[in-house]
Amino acid sequence: MPEGPEIRRAADRLAAAVVGKPLVRVEFAFAELKRFERELVGHRIESITARGKAMLTRFDQGWTMYSHNQLYGVWKVAAAGERPATKRSLRVALETARCAILLYSASDVSMWRSDEVESHPFLQGLGPDVLDPALDAAVVAARLQSPAFRGRALGGLLLDQGFLAGMGNYLRSEVLFATGLRPGRRPKELDASAIARLAAALLDIPRLSYATRGIAPAERMRDDYLTDTAEGFRFLVFGREGEPCPVCGSAIEREMVGSRRLYLCPRCQS
């Protein structure tokens, strides 16, 4: 499943293609949304924004489309009137005179009055978004030490969208490696210095991934993806089972934590 940085970059790409331009054609595969095919023609998309792993497409006539890619959904941008060759099922098409944005395979799509969309159950359950520039490390540190989260193992907590929205599997591995922590550690076991390091990494690593083209693990091209600069995002442990740790040289190990694969250094993380 794409993680917060990938969804945010997708929203940026879609917005650049269609925001502010009148819609000339709209398609929905879902019967309950068919009425919007005519209602939206002639109107404009005001914004396309990411909320954790969900996306909100706001129209100028007072409606907002909520969508979640889940495991298989994917957005594509095409020229007006064109449809990419694919075996995927088209779920949503929003087309201007020049471009079309197309959602394939996703099943979690709904329309909400814009002033009511925040009542969507998924959005209500989200914690602060790690890519929200207003979120700072002090707030994250306080959440780590709060009664709701302080007793939970980090391996599960870092995937909980109710703790921090936008975190995901590769980010979990990289954050734990960067802070030298095992997935079984709990915030209540950590001293103030470790909490501060973890809180900072939970913001810095997703934001670096977003800013420097971190991509979904299934799509990455191993060495082609790695950057030559310290500023670029790179997988230090994720997907590198058996390879040497970049710090100590020990072989990177893979574990299943919360039914998801997690990669760590057995020597650097404790």
Final residue of a structural domain among 93, 124, 155: 124
Q: Where are the beta strands (DSSP E) in 43-98?
A: 45-51, 54-59, 63-68, 74-79, 90-95
Element (H, E) at 178: helix 169-179
- Spatial separation of the C-alpha atoms in residues 243 and 251, rounded to whole Å: 5
**Whether residues 202 and 240 fall in one domain:** yes
**Whether residues 148 and 97 fall in one domain:** no
Reported pTM:
0.88
How many C-beta atoms surround the C-beta of residue 146 within 10 A?
Answer: 11
How many C-beta atoms surround the C-beta of residue 232 within 10 A?
Answer: 15
**pLDDT (0 to 100) of residue 53:** 87
Written as six digits, the tokens of 53 are 């792993």
Quote the domain boundaries for residue 177: 137-264
Active site residues: 2-3, 53, 260
**pLDDT (0 to 100) of residue 213:** 64
**pLDDT (0 to 100) of residue 9:** 93
Final residue of a structural domain among 68, 90, 124: 124
Question: Helix, strand or coil for residue 124?
Answer: helix
Q: Is residue 270, in this structure, part of any structural domain at all? A: no
The strand order across the sheet containing 74-79 reads 25-28, 90-95, 99-104, 74-79
**Whether residues 193 and 87 fall in one domain:** no
As beta bridge partners, residue 54 has 51, 68
How many domains does one find in the chain?
2
The CATH number for 196's domain is: 1.10.8.50
As beta bridge partners, residue 254 has 263
**Whether residues 259 and 145 fall in one domain:** yes
Walk along the chain (270 residues) and give the pLDDT tens digit of each residue. 678 999 999 999 999 999 999 999 999 999 999 999 999 999 999 999 999 889 999 999 999 999 998 888 999 999 999 999 999 999 999 999 999 999 999 999 999 999 999 999 999 999 999 999 999 999 999 999 999 999 999 999 999 999 999 999 999 999 999 999 999 999 999 999 999 999 999 999 999 999 986 444 444 433 333 333 335 678 999 999 999 999 999 999 999 998 999 999 999 999
As beta bridge partners, residue 22 has 44
How many C-beta atoms surround the C-beta of residue 104 within 10 A?
Answer: 21
